[in-house]
Amino acid sequence: MDTARGYLSKTELMAYVPGITGTDTEKLALIARAEALIDSYIGHQDQAIYPLRDLARAATDNTLQLSANDTQAANGVNYLKGCSIDIIDGTGEGQTRRISGSALDGTVTISENWDTNPDTTSYYRVYQVGKLPRRGKDLTNDTVGGQNRYFRVIPVAVKQAVAAQAEYIQQMGDAYFTGGDSNMQSESSDGYSYTRGENGTNGKGLIAPAARSYLAGAGIINRAGGQIIVPNTII
């Protein structure tokens, strides 16, 4: 199981930061929290996947076939892999799953079976949770078995930054990030910015210094509202 953004796996976290402690569930929660903060810090990005909304054509225990109007899946096999899908109306309303694969005919496979199988009354929403992958940058494709297949490529600097942020969260403790020690007065999530009071803890920010260094070294600039460019480095 991965996080909703899927920037970093538990195995990668332990490779980058061997000293991280906790159960697998706690590590996943830590990664998810770190990813959210890094996403906020890097600001606006042109996401690779446009949101999709329509009625399902069909469904099974672990699949759903998108409307014929939603043609992004036809770009290539697994083009929608890593996105989330919500059932927002009709049969199965209230369910959210992560897409583990997508086919050219618009059939998406989910990571965990539906509690209630959707049907043709089910109105879905497919969307990319994270700022990455970015359009034209973090999706690569190749011909495999005669079909055009897509792969997500998260830049190394982002993986390193998430790992450093996870370590920072564990080192600083929850209170620092919930307002007590951080003395954070305001925060904007689109084009990351925050305001600290005069009595903030040692003047430290919410983003790990090492994370900022990794991102800056890769050309990522914390510039509120601006387009931030990340080199497409493959590991």
Reported as a single tens digit per residue, the pLDDT across 2-15 is 899 999 999 999 99
What is the pLDDT averaged over residues 147-175? 94
Query: Cα 86 to the chain's mean position, in Å?
Result: 15
Per-residue model confidence (pLDDT) at position 134: 87
Contact 128, 135 (CB under 8 A): no
What's the alpha-carbon Rg for the chain, to the nearest Å? 19
What is the pLDDT averaged over residues 122-151? 92
Q: Does residue 155 register a pLDDT over 60?
A: yes
pTM, to two decimals: 0.81
The dihedral built from the CA positions of residue 153, 156, 162 and 167, taken in this order, carries a sign that is positive
Q: Which phi-psi region, left, alpha or beta, contains residue 154 (left: φ > 0; alpha: ψ -120 to 50)? A: beta
Per-residue model confidence (pLDDT) at position 231: 35
Q: Where are the domains of the chain?
A: 10-46+154-217, 52-127
pLDDT interval class at 235 (50, 70, 90): very low
Q: Does residue 34 register a pLDDT over 70?
A: yes
Per-residue model confidence (pLDDT) at position 137: 86
pLDDT interval class at 45 (50, 70, 90): confident
